[in-house]
Amino acid sequence: MGCFTFVKLMMVLFNLLIFLGGLTLLVMGIWVSVDGGSFLRLLRPFSSQGLQVINVGFFFIAIGALLVLLGLTGCCAAHKESKCLLLTSFSIILVIFISEVAAGVVVLAYSSFAEEILRDWATPALQTDYGRDPVITTIWNTTMTELNCCGLKNYKDFVGSKFEKESGGRLPPSCCRTKSSSCSSDEAGLSAVQGCFKDILENLNKHSNIVGGFAAGIAALEIGAMTVSMYLYCHLEK
């Protein structure tokens, strides 16, 4: 097998993987949009937000369709040895790659401020939005139940909040060891349930490592696809 034939096969392989990845996202997007109820059961913290799930579905469909089209373009370019298609495929992957690098830089810049961002968001949310905003309430109820914690620091995050005032001095059941619906600040103080801050940070770090590894794999795939497409283009130029 000659070098040119081998590179053509690699081009097809890389773009086939891109095609399959896009097809997976496309199927997921259609599933979320058509049968959101099943998807919601997997994402319980957002179970009341049908509109957001529909938006996620449309996003998956758009990205999946783009990747499917890109994969087909790359495969056709390698098979037909078309310089135009090769250049088109290279340009699209390059734009996507640059966008991903820019997004990664932004994420890395903000990750160092994760603790401050979490505190700045969580404390006001618990004081003013918990019990009134269904999204905030559902997220925090699920978090506190699964992690066996209360508030961000401790039960004092709810003391003086709108939820405590409107509920007649009650706090969320997770703030008391008994998980009672009549949990008071005095009972919560005796229970000494720890805050969720440490556990949330650990979960964020764990999932960010998984996402980072996945993104690195995608980036390597894109670099490989760009390399072989440019090699084929230069070979055809000669």
Contact of 32 with 25, CB cutoff 8 Å: no
- Residue 170 carries which DSSP code? B
The predicted-structure confidence for 55-66, as pLDDT tens digits, reads as follows 566 777 887 888
The predicted-structure confidence for 52-96, as pLDDT tens digits, reads as follows 444 566 777 887 888 888 888 888 887 787 888 888 888 888 888
What pLDDT is attached to residue 30? 78
What pLDDT is attached to residue 238? 64
Distance in angstroms (rounded) separating the CA atoms of residues 231 and 8? 9
The pLDDT of 6-26, averaged and rounded, is 81
For 100, the 3-state DSSP assignment is helix
What pLDDT is attached to residue 6? 79
Q: Which one, of 222, 224, 235, lies nearest residue 21 by Cα? A: 222
For residue 179, give Cα distances in angstroms to 91, 100, 137: 57, 44, 17
What pLDDT is attached to residue 48? 42
